[in-house]
Structure 1
Amino acid sequence: MSEKDKKHLPDVDVGTAADMEEVMRKYDRESATRIWEGKPKVVVGVVMALFSLYCIWMTLRCTWDLPIRLTSFLGLITIMGYLTYPARKDHVKPNSMPWYDIVLMLLGAGSFFYYCLNYNSLVMVITSAAKINPASESAIPNAWFYLAIGVVAILVLAELCRRCVGLPILCVVGALLIYTFASGQNLARVIYTLFYGTSGVMATPIQVCAKFIAVFIIFGAFLERTGISNFFIDLANSLAGSTSGGPAKVAVISSALCGMVSGSSVGNTVTTGSVTIPMMKRTGYQGEFAGAVEAAASTGGQIMPPIMGAAAFLMAEYMDTTYANVAVKAILPALLYFTGIFLAVHLEARRLNLKGVPRDQLPKFGILIRSIYLLLPLVILVWMVSTGTRTLQFSASIAILLAILVSLPHMFTDSRAQHDEGFAVHFVKDTASMIVSALEAGGRSCITVAVACSMAGMVAGCITVTGLASKLINGVINISNMIPIPALSLFIALFLTMLCCIVLGMGVPTTANYCIMASTCAPILIQLGIGKIPAHFFVFYFGIVADITPPVALAAYAGSAIAKSDPMKTGVNATKLAIAAFIVPYIFAYSPAMLFVDVTSVFQVVQIIISALLGIFGVAAALNGYLFRPIPRWMRFALVIAGLAMMVPGSATDVVGLIALAAMVFYQRAMAKKGPAAA
């Protein structure tokens, strides 16, 4: 936010940069990094920037065989990972890297590079792995050496996962490996499958990461440097800042806009929350509520079309459909999610009689329109992908160039204002510095996603080699079939899948999160008879809300740290605010019409949208406990039932829900006119 714009906002204690960094280090593993200073910092930064350039080149021009591309990619990720992440958060002595980290880095990267450089001579090993039926070790020359390379690479990658992603997914991988060996698989078969084949570390998730995700992450890094996040925050202030409880509504709008391009719920919570949470508290919201609003909205940004934290482009690949189709189907669920939060915020403001920020202290909408050009990279990206004009990776590369171009006017103005003479030289230097900084940030952000994707591949590999997939499906079916009622039986299966998604999604960035869910949980639902599109949306939503679901609600805990509130209460409030994300997936699993699947007319679309929005109004009012006056418990329960009835697509349920909802709203209004509720 520019200094000029800051003058229009209330004076609030947003905390120092060091405070924000401390919050990020505590709740976001991606931020718990080594400290490099001086020349070492320059060297590490150059390594990251060169990696980003390599990723762009690889996605656009590289014609190497797939295993060569993936092993070179993972070898570089290993080097950058150990240069970035220490063994523990408190191991952050400047310019310090223990000898054992250097050894791990060299062994891990060396294993991947050996595979890369000797791919042609390893064809027999790779072929054996691909068949998941390797010959005996004696039939493969130097079998022990190949096994050692595979073991070292996997162990080093697992340790890097512990450092930058966390233990939940690593525990899943460990449990599956134990099961794999217990099922009778020998070490050779496991290593050939997980390392040398394409059913393990180098399975679909890392392939998607190297081909698509990396370049979108780099695009996001460039986009942040255009000032688009500040533009979104100022735009939200201009639109909603002066309304009742305005700062909370600003948090909802700005976090939705910023979150869809950030790809990190925690990072978005801290970035926008450092501005919005203190403003909410100053307005009169309790700390637990303020932190929860920011966390829920920031997390919801990941499901906000058209970008969805870059997951929209990947969903199109996994579901074998068009990007435009994914974006359209995501509109109504996202609209319900943010409508629920917005209504809760408004009703809370009404209950507490909170006011907004005076208009003369807010950015002027007319002035903001002059910066609308900052949206050009996003608009062009969406247009190219949705029309099929160019490939995903080419479109992202063009968007990166556009992001550089739209940042130039602002940088030119700053250089001219700060330097009376020779500002042109400073402008060139500042531009070059911005480009290198964005490339460096993009490369660093790729580490966590790539490592998480490689672990997701191992999960899929273990499931494949043991035949566990069919056993899991049969297990879920058997458990659900214990209930004789078909609809309730499906609900049990969906509930179990939801729990798996929340556990696997803890602390994992959006794009990697979806890759994990698409590889592990979505196939279970598809086998149960859920359509491919509803199944993928179901697992995507519950993977995302892991960041606000106690007991491991990292986004909510980050929000509580800024709000100086109770972490668990903040997490519970965030879950209540995001209730739509816990309800809507079940609805479109039972009735895909909410995703506009098998919808035959415009009237049906309009009916679904209006009834669903009215339904979420009823649920939000019930959870908040206030409409025109405090709502008694019996009516809150009735509002939930009426709201759910309207959210389920279907004329009969819509009519019943509408009549019940209207009756209770009119009753509340009539009682409010008579006077306040009795204490």
Structure 2
Amino acid sequence: MGLNFFKNRDTVLENVDLSEIDRESKFKHFRGRQEILLTILLTAFSCFQLYASITNRFPQQIVRYSHLGFAICLAYIMYPATSKTDRSRHSIFDLVLAALFAAVTFYFLYNYKDLQLRAGAYTQLDVIMAGIGILFVLFACWRVVGPPIVCVASFFIIYGFIGPYLPGFLHHRGYSVQRVITHLFITTEGIIGNPLGVSSTFIFLFIFFGACLEKTGIGKFFIEAATSASGWAAGGPAKVAVLTSALTGTISGSSVSNTVSTGSFTIPMMKKLGYKAEFAAAVEAAASTGGQIMPPVMGSAAFLIADAIGVPYPTLMKHALIPAMLYFTGIWVMVHFEAKKSGLRGLPRDQLPPLWPLIRDQGHLMLPLAAIIYFMLSGFTITRSALWGICVAAFIPYLRRGTFVPFRQILTALPAAAKSIVSVATACGTAGIIVGMVTLTGLGQRIGAGMFELVGGSLILGLMVAMLTSLILGMGVSTTSNYIITSTIAAPILIRMGVPVLASHLFCFYFGIIADITPPVALAAYAGSAIAKSNPFKTGVIASKIAIGAFIIPYMFAFNPKMIMINGNFWEALPMIVTAVIGMIGIGGGLTGYLDGPVNSFWRILMIIGGFMLIIPDFGTDIIGAGIIFGILLLHRLYIYPKTGSK
């Protein structure tokens, strides 16, 4: 009889205050009539979004202003102003703020045609309402997402005014208050620009799709299938964490929430089998963070990337899949070596859900994910693909009696999706300020040119600068905010140096995401440590070590974009994929100090050197690096382990 991996999950989650780690989870908790009214408002938000997507009858400005209006009003209602605010009831002050922003939204919805006609000759009331709107968006984002992105956006606004007084490549002619305000809130170059447009269409639909997967039990099926498939192997529970986080993290939209949701059962399971608390939390944090770079959704950023660089969505998935798979391969290698080193076995097979009966009885639950990928690859638009995927997800549980769920449970996906999109829409609206000021001042090109001069045109120095910039800018911000900030500020550095646009954007996005497990901020690692009751900083250090592949792979495809099939095909990428895997085996063995047995310091250093040599896109260094790694493996297997008996 299979072990019920979910029976203690709710208890674990109740003991973890996620709001102390992740601002986006700091909801107010209402009861009674207040809860009913909030549920009605959230459901109305989702119904409007679905109706707009299905009918496609509203102009984009109407959809975007409505999306922003719902999200900001809900942000003031749902999120407390401070950590000391009572989270059990509404605040009159917050309701007034929500009502004021609703009035601002209504003003622009009612007058949107007149605003188009008087573009460039806006009235004083237009400017005042737009200014209020900008301030309300910033204040709401401070509550929901946190100070980092608000500070960055505020800096960009200030930059629009002080440009004439700055030296060098930062200098520009300067802009009036009226020009900045109207550009940011009225035109489609600012708050209601492309980031919010993507949030109001693709991102919402995929968040709703993810909510349907959860409410219909499909997400639970993925976890049980991963547990059954790998739970018996050496380090099985850790490998379960890797698989489940790869499957669920791409849709969850948050490294932190994914760490807590899947970690609520994988971390206690790892600790029970002998893993140290820090290592158990670090494995889950590293794997959950990787979910944000795993196609097809990539934590909602995939749609922003495709829109920003103008590539078809299926094409983006093709390019992003190889580095994502290599990332999880690297984590798997590290977990395997650590498990062998610590003598940790998998779970007994009689405590695991049998795989084939599970596939036989619930295998049809994989159809929604298969359907959505099929529709996208068949030429359907992203919107239509998502809508069909939602329909399949809502219908598929009723094919078998064993997967039947009450229809009212599926309907709860409506408020759940709206609740999740609030943080994304708020972040996208604030990110629109950054994008708007960059387009107004031309700062992106200026930064690229300035950094190019600073590093003297050296690609390796440029990559290191972009990496550090992305790690710093990615600390403590959501996935969508992360991509917009890093791609706006850091990517121009690489594009200026000749790195292809897509490779530049992926490079910066990857390092921005890895900030979630890189100390000192390391939010995902802190979330895992809250469950494991481990040292947060030490957990972050171990998570960074486990995810070492994430620090290597971006350099590989930046040096040679053919690795991600840019200007090349899969067969040209295959040798680089093989060398990357060999390199990660070498680095993993060197960092853990274990292969088939213990490895002393001299051989460990050599293996790490050999692994890093495989990063450089050169046949000679590849041969030397691979020779070092295979030579050490052969030497230990033939001569050292037989003598020590530690095989």
For Structure 1 versus Structure 2, the TM-score category normalised by the shorter chain is: over 0.9
Of 453, 464, 472, the match for 1:495: 464
* 8 A Cα contact 1:107 1:153, kept in partner: no
Aligned to 1:448: 423
Name the counterpart of 2:99.
Answer: 106
Q: How big is the shift at 1:651? A: 2.9
Q: d(CA) in 1 for partners of 2:58 and 2:232?
A: 56
Question: Deviation per CA, 1:351-399, whole angstroms, max 9, x where unpaired?
Answer: 11112111111110112102111111111110111121x2111111111
Q: Within the alignment, does 1:151 sit opposite 2:131 as a pair?
A: yes
CA distance in 1, matches of 2:69, 2:296: 33
For the residues of structure 1 that align with 2:131 and 2:569, how far apart are their CA atoms? 54
Distance 1:197 1:348 in 2: 54
CA distance in 2, matches of 1:26, 1:98: 21
Asked if 1:222 corresponds to 2:215, the answer is no
Instruction: Pick which of 23-32 and 304-313 moved more.
Output: 304-313
The AA in structure 2 aligned to 1:463 is V
Q: Is the 8 A contact 1:546 1:552 kept in 2?
A: yes
RMSD of aligned C-alpha atoms? 2.3
**Structure 2 counterpart of 1:119, from 112, 116, 122:** 112
Contact map agreement 1:33 1:92 (CA 8 A) in 2? no
State the alpha-carbon separation in 2 of the partners of residues 512 and 205 from structure 1.
Answer: 9
**1:174 maps onto 2:154 in alignment:** yes
Partner of 1:61: 55
Query: Does the CA contact (< 8 Å) of 1:70 and 1:206 recur in 2?
Result: yes
Distance 2:573 2:441 in 1: 44
Q: Separation in 2 of the partners of 1:265 and 1:245? A: 22
Which residue pairs with 1:376 in the alignment?
A: 367
| Secondary structure of 1:16 counterpart | helix
- Amino acid across the alignment from 1:16: T
Alpha-carbon distance between aligned partners in 2 of 1:635 and 1:18, rounded to the nearest angstrom: 43
Residue type at the aligned position of 2:592: N
Deviation at 1:409, TM superposition (A): 5.1
Given residue 148 of structure 1, which amino acid in structure 2 is its aligned partner? I
Measured after TM superposition, the shift of residue 586 of structure 1 is 1.3
Per-residue Cα deviation, 1:626-654 (whole angstroms, up to 9, x for no partner): 22333333332321221122244443332
Deviation at 1:512, TM superposition (A): 4.6
Secondary structure in 2 matching 1:558? helix
Greater mean deviation of Cα atoms: 180-189 or 29-38: 180-189
TM-score, structure 1 normalization: 0.89
Q: Offset of 1:539 from its aligned partner?
A: 1.9
Could you list the per-position Cα deviations for residues 255-314 of structure 1 after superposition, in whole angstroms to 9, with x for gaps in the alignment?
111112222111111111010001111111111100000000011112223333343344
- The answer to whether 1:607 aligns with 2:575 is yes
- Residue 504 of structure 1 corresponds to which residue in structure 2? 473
Structure 1: runs of 5+ lacking an equivalent: 129-134, 416-426
What does residue 251 of structure 1 align with? 241
Pair 649,490 (structure 1): closer, same or farther in 2 beyond 3 Å = closer
The Cα shift of 1:321 comes to: 2.7
Find the aligned partners of 2:102 and 2:461 in 1 and give their Cα distance: 44
Q: 1:116 to 1:499 in 2, by over 3 A?
A: farther
2:482 matched residue in structure 1? 513
The amino acid that maps onto 1:161 is C
Q: Which amino acid aligns with 1:500?
A: T
1:13 Cα deviation after fit: 6.6
TM-aligned CA deviation for residue 14 of structure 1: 5.4
Matched, 1:386 2:377: yes
User: Taking every aligned residue pair, what percent have the same amino acid on both sides?
Assistant: 41
* CA–CA distance in structure 2, aligned partners of residues 295 and 110 of structure 1: 42
Letter of the structure 2 residue corresponding to residue 667 of structure 1: L
Aligned equivalents of 2:409, 2:19: Cα separation in 1: 24
Pair 1:32 & 2:26 matched: yes
Displacement of 1:621 in angstroms is 1.1
Would the aligned equivalents of 1:318 and 1:518 in 2 still touch at CA under 8 Å?
no
Distance 2:416 2:86 in 1: 19
Contact 2:285 2:528 in 1 (8 A): yes
Of stretches 306-315 and 565-574 in structure 1, the one that deviates more from structure 2 is 306-315
The aligned residue for residue 651 of structure 1 is 619
Q: Which residue of 1 aligns with 2:11?
A: 16
Structure 1, residues 494-549: CA drift from partner, whole Å, max 9, x if none? Answer: 22222332333334443453344444443443233210221121122122212111
Aligned to 1:563: 532
- Residue pair 2:299, 2:479 contacting (<8 A) in 1 also: yes
Q: 1:561: Cα distance to partner?
A: 0.6
1:194 to 184, 208, 217: 184
Q: Taking structure 1 as reference, are residues 107 and 474 closer, same or farther at Cα in structure 2, changes over 3 Å only? A: same
Cα distance 1:608–1:493, how it changes in 2: closer, same or farther (>3 A)? closer
Superposition deviation, residue 149 in structure 1: 1.0
Structure 2: distance between partners of 1:66 and 1:326: 24
Q: Report the equivalent of 2:516.
A: 547
Aligned residues: 634
Is the Cα contact below 8 Å between 2:21 and 2:526 reproduced in 1? yes
User: How much has 1:70 moved relative to structure 2?
Assistant: 1.5
- Measured in 2, the distance between the counterparts of 1:119 and 1:528 equals 42
**Contact 2:562-2:569 at 8 Å conserved across structures:** no
One of 349, 353, 370 as aligned partner of 2:339: 349
* C-alpha contact 1:612 1:648 (8 A) present in aligned 2: no
For residues 310 and 6 of structure 1, the distance between their equivalents in structure 2, rounded to whole angstroms, comes to: 33
